[in-house]
Each structure stands twice: as C-alpha cells, then as structure tokens.
Structure 1
Amino acid sequence: MSASLSTSPTAAVLSTPPATAELAIAHFAAKLAFETDVSDVHADLAAGVPGITVVDTRSLEAWEQGHIPGAVHLPTARIAARAAELIGPDQVVVTYCWGPGCNGSTRAALAFARLGHPVKEMIGGYEYWVREGFPTQTLLGVRHNDVDPLTAPASGAACAC
C-alpha cells in the first residue's frame, strides 16, 4: 500500500465536533426540564409524590387495552376543552402516548403548555412502561408485566442510571 493512502478510518462520531461543556450543560439541562422517563414516573407514583398528574393522550380503544394505573385519560384533541376540569392548576402534567415512534405525547405536552400548565413528556411512552415490567390497568384489572431484558435489568430492580 502506498504511503500516500491513509489507512486510518474516518471518524463518524467526530465528523461533527462535540459541543463545548457550557453548551452541553445548557442542552442537557433543558432536555431534562422537558422530559422524564418511565422509571422516574413509576418511582414517583409508587412513592405517592404529590403534584404530578400523568395523562394518557391515546384513544379510548388504546386506553381500554391498557394504561398506567392512576393516569388520567385525556386524548390530545380534547385537552383544550377538558383540562381545566380534570387537571389541578398546581399539578405538573406528565404526558404519554404509545411509544418512541409516536409524537402524540409531544403534541399533548404542547397543548398543556399553551394552557399554562407545567408539563413534561414521558419518553418511551406506554411501550417502555410495559417493557420495563411496570403494572398496567385494563378492563379486567391490573396486569403485571414481565421485564424485557433489553430495556431494564431482568431482576426488575431499577437500573440506577
């Protein structure tokens, strides 16, 4: 091989330089202000932390198929009309929809923000709630789900990340 040809690989990760620490701090702090995850929501619900209302923004059919116990069912299209009667003004709203491939919880979070509610989006949605083995409520009662070892420790213990 000729000495003029480079044998070092092209760096995909470094093809765009990383942000400065100052910009990274601002970005990640802002991201955490807008999002929460299923593990944190579960922990707060299990501990009875006051001031949080979890809102399922999916259809009635989806809700009846299964939802987070204690969640309020309020499809996105009905938020403007019904939020005041269902959500206290002092509550932080946590929205969720199907999962990472769905932006319904994002649209719902925007609707709540437009009404003046403090709001966070639960990343992972209902899909990751189920995959992490958390209980779900159906028309037949509470269902306890198996942990998907690709999303959480098989023991069901928190990942502690």
Structure 2
Amino acid sequence: MTRTLTVPAPAPEAAKRYFGAELAFEVDPDDLVRDIEAGRTEGYVVVETRAPEAFRSARIPGAINLPYRDLTPETTKDLDRDLVYVCYCESADCNAATKGALKLAELGFKVKRLSGGITSWIAAGYPTEGTPEQTAGIRCAC
C-alpha cells in the first residue's frame, strides 16, 4: 500500500463538510485582493491584529488596526456587528490573527482569517500601504 493512502480518503460527504468548514474560517490573499481591486468591500473589514508599529510599517489597503491584546468589550463597542472581520498578522508562523479572531468571536463578532498573513500578501506582489522602506523587515510584532 502507498503511504499516501495508508489512511483512506474520507467519503465525499465528510470531505464536503470538512473543506466547507475550512473555507468558512479563512480567505486567501488572491480572493481578498480581487475584491478590494474590484471595489467589493461591503460586508467585511480587513483587520491587522499586530501591534500599531507593524500596522504603520505595512498594511493591506483599507485595513484597520485592532491589536489582539487590546480587544475588549470597551475597545470594540463601536464596531459593526453585522460585518465580518477578516483578521491577519505577519504569516502562518505568527498566531496574532488567530488570537484576534478568537477574541472577536468571543465578543460576538463574525470572523475569518487571511491565509498566510501580510508576508504572503507581499510575496504575491499585492499592494500595501505604510512605510515602503520598512516592508522588507516584516516581523511578527505581536
């Protein structure tokens, strides 16, 4: 038997549930940039969950900064609960987006996470706002 099939593939219905759930939690940079470039930004807000200095250096156009450490009922009281908050951080090696999405969900907000963070965004050649000379030094900054 092959190593690939040592554990059998799931039944189609199980795969549908699993992969459907995965996509409910994440959006990829290509889908997000296509929406932004087409002006389709209704229904969601892009959220940088790292520290303010990281947000100032490089961010996705139109993103707001909500550092995950600062998310409380008081700091989120003016956020629109009808929107989906798409959280991102530095990369797949940083979990600030996960921590931010969790905190927002605990506070009653609908959330998704951007796959790969801003490093994947930049690696794909997508535009950023901020201080361009600092873009090369992207780091976790949680």
**Shorter-chain TM-score category?**
0.7 to 0.9
Question: Is 1:62 matched up with 2:54?
Answer: yes
Higher relative contact order (CA 8 A, sep 6+): 2
Corresponding residue number in structure 2 for 1:36: 27
Equivalences for 1:65-104 in 2 at 5 Å?
Answer: 65-80=57-72, 81-85=74-78, 87-104=79-96
1:90 deviates by 1.5
Query: What TM-score comes out, normalization by structure 1 length?
Result: 0.76
Indicate yes or no: 2:115 matched with 1:123.
Answer: yes
Aligned residues: 133
One-letter amino acid of the counterpart of residue 130, structure 2: T
Q: Which whole-Å CA distance do the structure 2 matches of 1:115 and 1:136 have between them?
A: 29
Structure 1 regions of 5+ residues with no counterpart?
A: 1-9, 144-161
Tell me the TM-score normalized by structure 2.
Answer: 0.86
Q: What's the secondary structure of 1:54's corresponding residue?
A: strand
* Structure ID, larger Rg: 1
User: Which residue is 1:106 aligned to?
Assistant: 98
Residues 8-42 of structure 1 show CA distances to partners (whole Å, capped at 9, x for unaligned) of xx522111111111110000010111111111111
| Distance (whole Å) between structure 1 residues aligned to residue 10 and residue 26 of structure 2 | 21
Q: What's the counterpart of residue 140 of structure 2?
A: none
* SS at 1:14 equivalent: coil
Aligned-pair identity (%): 37
- What is the aligned-residue RMSD (CA, Å)? 1.9
Q: Specify the alignment match of 1:17 in structure 2.
A: 8
**Amino acid paired to 1:116:** G
Deviation at 1:140, TM superposition (A): 6.0
Q: Shift of residue 109 of structure 1?
A: 0.7
